Amino acid sequence: MLCSHIKPGTTPFETLFVLEEHLGLASGLVECKSCEATYLLELIDLAGNDRAYRVTAVEPVHAHAMVHTLSRGTCDIQRAASEVQNLESRSTLLNVTISMHGSIIIGLDRVADTVEIPRDHWRTLPCDGRWLSQTPS
Ligand SMILES: [Zn+2]
C-alpha cells in the first residue's frame, strides 16, 4: 500500500539511498517524510525532466538494513544488485506508478490488473515517454 502522503503536487520523499543515477534518481530507497514508510523507486520512463517509477513497498526494517549494508565498505554494483533482488523478494510491487518532475510528484497512475508494469531495468526499457504520456495528471 502506498501511504496517504504520496499525492500529486507534494514532495513527500526523503532519499535514503541512491542505487543508481541517470540525470537524477534512477533507482533508490526513499522514505515518506510524514510517516517513514519506505519504498524502492525504479525508473521505467523518462521524458525531458519528467520521470516515471515503479514502486515497491519495503518494510522500513529491511530498507534500513540494506542501507546499512551498502553504506559499509566498498559498494560494488554487483553487490547492490543482489541486495535489491533480495529486498524485492521480501517486498511487494505496488499496482501504481509515480510520475515526478524533480522531487515533485506530478501523477499517480493506478494500474489496472490487465496492464503490466515494466519489470525490466530502465536501461533495457524504451524510456521514450510512452508511459508518462498515459499517466493522468
Ligand atoms: Zn507517508
Mean pLDDT (10-residue bins), the chain, 137 residues = 95 95 94 97 95 96 92 75 89 94 92 87 94 74
How close is the Cα of 18 to the center of ligand 1, in Å? 19
How close is the Cα of 59 to the center of ligand 1, in Å? 13
- Which H or E element spans position 63? helix 60-71
* pTM assigned to the model: 0.92
Q: How many residues in total does the chain contain?
A: 137
CA torsion angle 56 77 20 112 (round to 10): -30
**Cα–Cα distance, 100 to 8 (Å, whole number):** 9
How close is the Cα of 78 to the center of ligand 1, in Å? 31
Q: Which of 95, 98, 96, 118 shows the shortest CA–CA distance to 107?
A: 98
Q: What pLDDT is recorded for position 75?
A: 61
How close is the Cα of 73 to the center of ligand 1, in Å? 31
